[in-house]
Amino acid sequence: MRASLLRRLVGLTAASPRRWLCGTTTPSSPSNRTDVEPLRILFCGSDAFSCASLGALHAEMQRQDGLPKDHRASLAGRIASLDVVVRPAKRTGRGLKQVADSPVRTMATELGLCVHERDTFTGWQPPSVNMIIAVSFGLFVPPRILGAARYGGLNVHPSLLPDLPGAAPIEHAILSGRERTGVTVQTLDDKAFDEGHILLQGPKAEAEEGAFGLAIPPSCTADELHRLLAPLGADLLIQALRRGLYLPGAVAASAAAKILPPGFVPVLASKLSKADQQVPWRLHQHSQSATATAEDIDRRARALGPLWTHLAVPQGRQSPMPTQKRAILGDIELVTCPDQMAPLLQRQAAESSRAETKDSPCAFQTATFVQRDGQHQTAVALPFTVSPDGSESIILPAGISSRASDSSSCIRIGTIKIEGDRAKPAARAIAGFSHNETTLGQVAWYVVFRQ
């Protein structure tokens, strides 16, 4: 499945061209047909993004119930029933002792809808439905289920396909530094995720030239982007139903129209794990190594939440602690370097390359951060300073431009939780790992300055 997505991303798929059905395209209306059945929907969802679409479907069904019985009786988009499928509740918390229901189960129960709990479709016969709608569900709907539904299935995907197909499009939009994104309503494919026909995409392009989709606000987090895209996806889904875009005739009659600009290079939004929350002091990509910048670390924190790394105890310090401790970094923020910090760092970096000065002490406190990649470890000694605003946060330089100090960037770390302890202000938490005797030759200047 992954290989199929990658082939499509680079344009190597030999199949027939995919249909692009943008929101600006007006297909011939199928609503005058008399054989269109009211929809009996099986909704499959899980999280808050799913809830927006479920709520919109329920509201649409309630709105139609208040109309005369013969109103739109033979028209597309009328909803006769709405059943909900959810995954089994997950155990969370310390010791996995707490059971947490999904937001969709909670909403469906509050709305009085029939809820089916399934972790597999194998051996299960759904109720009498004629459409499947899957939104952020994570479980593949097999051909047997899709084939039994007269109108197949629809999916609301939070990206502008073919960009960012996969399990984590919102997080990857932030990780990759995307400036714009959007939502796609597509048909459910019976062989792979995110391979269906595109029916609608939005939001509509803005007035400025070259704009498309939704502008991602500066410093936007994944949670914030979820909240922006969820109602857009719900609105597009209702539009697709009202316009009958799920009907075969509508799909066949729609003109091809791409919302992404020419030359745009799509990226695969693969599933992310706890390992992706490790601070990437050194990036390993395509058999090459590169250092992360403050912007890279900030994007990772905005996409994934608190990040983790390991801190090394300074050699020779009397401590009962192990030589390394896992540390969770919270309240990470991209900031400019404090006054005079970047010029002083530049002078000291230059001195570190001279034999007569490389053993001179660094002017800043330092801490040694350790990145673990399987059996390999990368230790980097980095200078830091305590924020002058009294917050007890620390400011850490990473990826400073050696040519333009006025655009230098650092990351501000508000809290640090050391393994076995509670979260504390970063300056206090790092005190047991900082040292003042690091020489200039020991500092990882290749991380401090952009290569």
Question: Which residue type, as a one-letter code, is found at position 451?
Answer: Q
Give the distance, in angstroms, between the CA of residue 65 and the centroid of all CA atoms in the same chain: 37
144 backbone dihedrals φ, ψ, rounded to 5° = -60, -40
In this prediction the pTM is 0.86
Bridge partners of 439, per DSSP, are 361
Tokens of 123: 């051996």
Domains of the chain: 2-253 (3.40.50.170), 274-448 (3.10.25.10)
Check whether the bond before 162 is cis (ω within 30° of 0): yes
370 backbone dihedrals φ, ψ, rounded to 5° = -120, 125
Non-local (6+) Cβ contacts of 395 within 8 A are 335, 337, 338, 341, 384, 385, 386, 387, 410, 411, 412, 413
Per-residue pLDDT at 401 = 76
Per-residue pLDDT at 18 = 38
Non-local (6+) Cβ contacts of 405 within 8 A are 337, 342, 343, 346
Per-residue pLDDT at 27 = 41
Per-residue pLDDT at 189 = 94
Return the number of other C-beta atoms located less than 10 Å from residue 161's C-beta. Answer: 25
Per-residue pLDDT at 101 = 86
Over the stretch 100-113, which tens digit does the pLDDT of each residue have?
789 999 999 999 99
Give the distance, in angstroms, between the CA of residue 140 and the centroid of all CA atoms in the same chain: 20
Read out DSSP for 238-307?
HHHHHTTTTSHHHHHHPPP---SPTT----------GGGGB--SEEEETTEEEEPPHHHHHHHHHHHSSE
Tokens of 60: 């649409």
Which residue in 157, 175, 138, 169 sits closest to 44, CA to CA?
138
Non-local (6+) Cβ contacts of 443 within 8 A are 348, 349, 352, 362, 366, 381, 382, 383
Check whether the bond before 203 is cis (ω within 30° of 0): yes
Over the stretch 277-286, which tens digit does the pLDDT of each residue have?
999 998 654 4
Q: Where are the beta strands (DSSP E) in 35-167?
A: 39-45, 79-86, 90-92, 98-100, 114-117, 131-135, 153-157
User: Residue 84 and residue 49: Cα distance in Å, rounded?
Assistant: 15
Per-residue pLDDT at 96 = 60
Residues of the chain with pLDDT under 70: 1-34, 65-75, 91-97, 205-210, 251-259, 283-290, 316-322, 402-408, 451
Per-residue pLDDT at 32 = 47
